[in-house]
Amino acid sequence: MVSKSDYNLLQSIVDVVGFIVIALGIIAQSIVRACLPKSYRKFKNLNGQNVLITGGGGGLGRLLALRMANQGAKIIVWDVNQEGIEETLKQVKAQGGTIHGLKCDLSKNEDVYRVAKLTKEEFGDIDILINNAGVLSGKFLLDTPDRLIQLTFDVNILAHFWTVKAFLPAMISRNKGHIITIASMAGHVGVSKLVDYCASKYAAVGFDESLRMELEDQGVTGVKTTAVCPYFIQSTGMFGNVHSRFLSTLKLSDVADRIVEAIQREEEQVMIPSVLRLTILLKLVMPWPVVSMFMRGLVPDAAPEEPTNKLNNNMVKPTSKEAVNVKND
């Protein structure tokens, strides 16, 4: 007669063997898909899709709007900068695209919910949500006013909660949708002068992974999530003067093209450039002094200019009083 403990052991062995077999099959399938020529890969059709892009008043958000509108998507951009919105609308319409813009302060959840309600009433359900808006302070932690730290988290991560809570229910009910989190390689590796920024991007990476896990746990198969983690990008106004050795900063157009491809292929996580995946692996296996030496050598100064805070192309500078009284905020 088989005892209960023997049965549990046997069941555990079966579970482990089953997991290994299934995992190997998934790995093999992923390798085959990665090696297929683009002409044989499955790409999602963006024509007619309602795409919402936060921070669409400039930089990467504007370029994504142009790229996706060119493929027939109907674009809605949110931004706190009305002039930026108007310029994005002008450029997209000039190439024959369909686009609408709404002013939204992503640092305030009540404004996010208000504009989300208006968006759904005027334009219908959102098919693709791109949480792109971001803030950068670029100061040593003890020199960063509390209000700028709060703003960094409000925009870089908390806003993701509010937009997803606003649009995810309809996606689940239709079992159709895609949520893209524009995070950063700073969401995997810490960098000096970017303590608040890195912490918010670590949170963004965790948000995406946890949300994906939760959807799978609930059996929601039609709603996809993608985390995008680029290296420093040129021409966004955030990292234009970053000192980077050995690895060039990224061209905005290249990043936009790669993000659109990732959306079409429904990739779970994208690192730009892909070689940086090795950095994450090395971080896990190397002693901390090696990791620190490598990162400080790669990025001697992430914010060489006098500290500012960027939110959707608007520069918000701490007052002299705040700069003096940082430790007492």
* Pairing mode, strands 74-79 and 98-103: parallel
H/E element, 323: helix 320-324
Point out the catalytic residue in the list 7, 40, 113, 197.
Answer: 197
Angle at 277 between CA 272 and CA 279, to 5 degrees: 110
H/E element, 206: helix 195-217
CA 1 to chain centre: 56
Give catalytic status of residue 231 as yes or no: no
The neighbour count for residue 169, using CB atoms within 10 Å, is 11
Buried b / exposed e along 214-228 (16+ C-beta atoms within 10 A): ebeeeebeebbbbbb
**What type of residue is 136?**
L
* CA separation, residue 196 to residues 133, 171, 209 (Å): 15, 31, 20
Q: List the structure tokens of 119.
A: 């968006």
Q: Where are the beta strands (DSSP E) in 66-148?
A: 74-79, 98-103, 128-131, 135-136
Tell me the β-bridge partners of 77. 53, 101
Q: Which residues are catalytic?
A: 197
